[in-house]
Structure 1
Amino acid sequence: MKALLSKVVGGPETLVLEDVASPEAKPGFAVVEVKAVGVNFPDVLIIEDKYQFKPARPFSPGGEVSGVVKAVGEGVTNVKPGDRVLGNTGWGGMAQEIAMEAGRLTVIPDAMPFDEAAAFIMTYGTSYHALKDRADLKPGQTLLVLGAAGGVGLAAVELGKVMGARVIAACSSQEKVDLAKAHGADEGVVYGRGPFDRDGQKQLAELFKQACGPNGADAIYDAVGGDYAEPALRSIAWEGRYLVVGFAAGDIPKIPLNLALLKGCEIVGVFWGAWVGKNPGRHAESVQELLKFYEAGKIKPHVSERFPLDKAADAIRHLASRQAMGKVVVTID
């Protein structure tokens, strides 16, 4: 079978497509014929050894897949050969087949296309965990989403509306704001591209404050980081929750902790992958809730670009450029 491999540390240009042996279904595992792979920011980081996990090489990037179960190992009861499934795995997805722990697989509705299924679990799973479990978002509260046209950001916009919040989408262009509004955002704000000096950060803080209103944002969803973090935190409401989701801007921000004191707010880490491993039962419940939202038409992945497996490195490069809107998917025949 074909697999895209990271054999040395580096960017997308270091990835190679090679023939490898097909995996076997060990006890507790299932082998999936991969039909589509969602591309996510961790794919950019993991091939450069900048992610929380550093798998042994060679490995394939790709943390979320959809496909058809080919075989199951001893003891597997939740899926069977022929089932259409989606699954989350830290890496290994950009290949024609993958062996996964069967507990990480979920049967998908017959009407759910494989590309949407592959664009589903990491973005909506991350954002639902962030808003429900970490922020305890309530109806009527104000949610500010940074990077609102990206994969997790757009999912946060949709889920914020499902949960009854007033959602403000913050993006780097009006085109991206318009996309977020089309997915339910109540209002939008366009911010400039960093880096920012101190005056620039002050202006950005004022932009966020004006967008959120006098009471500020009850929850801030930040998958961008960098120079955007402190200005966003300055717009938070009293006892608000600032969600640290990721650092698409590239730099990990250094937050003045006096802001947390003055705002009486919480700075809350969101590490969905680790949470899934520690709370498999709650994760399974959340996935079923998300699929119900999908079947009811309340959420729908926005797949903006599709790349074949032999162009998967280009898909990762495109995502790293921060030009992508919604989800980028690799499709596999």
Structure 2
Amino acid sequence: MGDDERGTTVPAVPPGLRGRVAVVTGAARGVGAALALTLSRAGMRVALLGREEQTLARTAAALPGESLCLEADVTDRPALDRAAERVAHALGPASVVVANAGIAAGGPFARTEPDLWQRVIDVNLTGAANTARAFLPHLARTRGHLLQVASTAAFGSAPMMSAYCASKAGAESFAQALRGELAPDGITVGIAYLHWTGTDMVTDMDEHPVLSALRRNQPRFARKVHSPEQVARWLTAGIADRRPYVYAPPWLRWCQPLRPLFPGLVTRVARREFERTPVAELGEDVGLLGAGGRADWQAYLSRGADGSAAAPS
């Protein structure tokens, strides 16, 4: 049993999911892997998409139900189109598609390598659009549900995280626009807002001075780090109910009316932190957060920015 976003208990197997097909991007680790497991336990056939083939295979091996592992880069449209065809052939058309793949880079904008900054945007925003585009024919057939995984980074952008915050705000806006377009076809679109979640990305964020300061200045209840398994249960309940918004944790729903206040509060906290530690010093540690992001970046570099194999150095 788990708690849904209203604070009530939900069954381990939400009704309406059994026997259907789900696609989860970024499923090799973290929330994606936990969600694949939770959906599989709910009786769904799950297609796991991600960059780390061996890690994906280990995740799929732990699922109790039928699954399919597909190594695919969400910024590669032809690869996603091929993945959609393979899912339809092996499992059937998807009724649930979760655009979860995401990476984050920390550091001052001026000191972040342009290709790295762009890669975060490409994975988190363009990759979400590519995922929706590839699987829309599935969702049209099944009158299914698309869940876009966003973040509280869309509420108030944190300095030193410009690409991540911009991409998550963009992904939120994209999902809201798509919702209106797809409603006449019976396709529903949900947006999931995740706060502090115990993934390797957040472990790295704890070493990030500005983000650590922001967390220290939050109310005690807002500093709690939730496990990927708990977050996956909240998301699964939201998927089962086809909710337009899913909050992980549930109290985030009450932050929506306060969103106009957050940018100013974040700026005030950041200014105090910059007075203690100059931006020049904070900029010494620029790079991707988490093993998943670093694996994606290495794969990107190995094939070259234009999609071809990188020249040997």
Would you call these one fold, judging by a TM-score over 0.5? no
Higher relative contact order (CA 8 A, sep 6+): 2
Q: What TM-score results when the alignment is normalised by the length of structure 1?
A: 0.38
Higher relative helix content: 2
